[in-house]
Structure 1
């Protein structure tokens, strides 16, 4: 059996990563592809992605027991990707992970053959999306836009611009996952 491939998706807040991943999840089931859920110290009803909500104490206990393949902190929350992805990869699955730009070096070290995917959008699109979701203050939005402007995609990354149709961005990612390497 061939080793699977990890697709490490990252990009700025407001670029539409969750929406693109949801589109791929809905349209890519027949392509031997699995989307990993993130474990987050955020309430389940907080909106956004379908994640596994954990208290900080439970998250730290799982981390101490080695139950995560990747962990990071951002925006005052703990994030983790479960070790189950290693099992999936060993069985030849194509695995999508909604990662973090800051945790990318850790991911690259643990999964050297991963394919990095950067989902981004124009500054104007991101600003409008962040304002519309209402979770960030104006100062938070300005800070996130500054991070977006300073970010350089890693060499070899698939860069998807999500300013237009969600179906176009999703189809671009799905095509990259399903074509032979």
Structure 2
């Protein structure tokens, strides 16, 4: 089993890429898209488990999460038990904060981190079109997007182009990681 950690600034298109890959790999049981627990209801672009802050704290106290973090006023976590859904020779994918990478690398030394990026102009346009943040918050997000990501096995993925081009490239990347996760074949005799 291997884990691919998907990180990147808001607006880089992580959820869109994951949704595209989810459709493509829907019948492939070797690849598992892990859900997060979040203290806000998921929007139409993501499928996560909603928890109120009290329930989140209760699970946190019970060591339920392999990793947890806080971002934009909300708590996020990934259940320890959910990683058991990934079969031997399979690949688990989860979108996380860059601050949580070390938690996964501690337990999964072969974890791969895919940093989804977009050029600053594209990222700025996406954030403005999305309409969730005020201009000063968009500037803060753009500055944060330039910060380096610390990971042992880091793959940079440029998602600046249209999804018609980046979607297939992302799927190809995941297929290569899935191939690396497969147990070695025995030679035929």
Same fold, TM-score > 0.5, yes or no? yes
Q: Tell me the CA shift for residue 25 of structure 1.
A: 0.3
SS in 2 for 1:102: helix
Where does residue 35 of structure 2 map in the other structure?
37
- The superposition leaves residues 14-48 of structure 1 with CA deviations (integer Å, 9 ceiling, x where unpaired) of 1000000000000012432110111100124x443
Alignment pair present for 1:64 and 2:32: no
Shift of the 165–97 alpha-carbon distance from structure 1 to 2, 3 Å rule, reads same
Where does residue 97 of structure 2 map in the other structure?
100
- The superposition leaves residues 39-68 of structure 1 with CA deviations (integer Å, 9 ceiling, x where unpaired) of 100124x44311111100011111111221
SS in 2 for 1:61: helix
Structure 1: runs of 5 or more not aligned: none
Structure 2: runs of 5 or more not aligned: 181-189
Q: Tell me the CA shift for residue 6 of structure 1.
A: 0.4
Where does residue 133 of structure 1 map in the other structure?
130
Cα contact 1:7–1:97 (8 A) shared by 2 = yes
Cα contact 1:70–1:80 (8 A) shared by 2 = yes
Bigger Rg, structure 1 or 2 = 2
Which of these residues, 73, 82, 85, is aligned with residue 85 of structure 1? 82
Moved more, 97-106 or 113-122: 97-106
SS in 2 for 1:132: helix
- Aligned residue pair count: 177
TM-score relative to the length of structure 2: 0.85
TM-score relative to the length of structure 1: 0.89
Instruction: Determine the C-alpha separation between the residues in 2 that align with 1:83 and 1:154.
Output: 20
Cα contact 2:70–2:76 (8 A) shared by 1 = yes
Shift of the 167–156 alpha-carbon distance from structure 1 to 2, 3 Å rule, reads farther
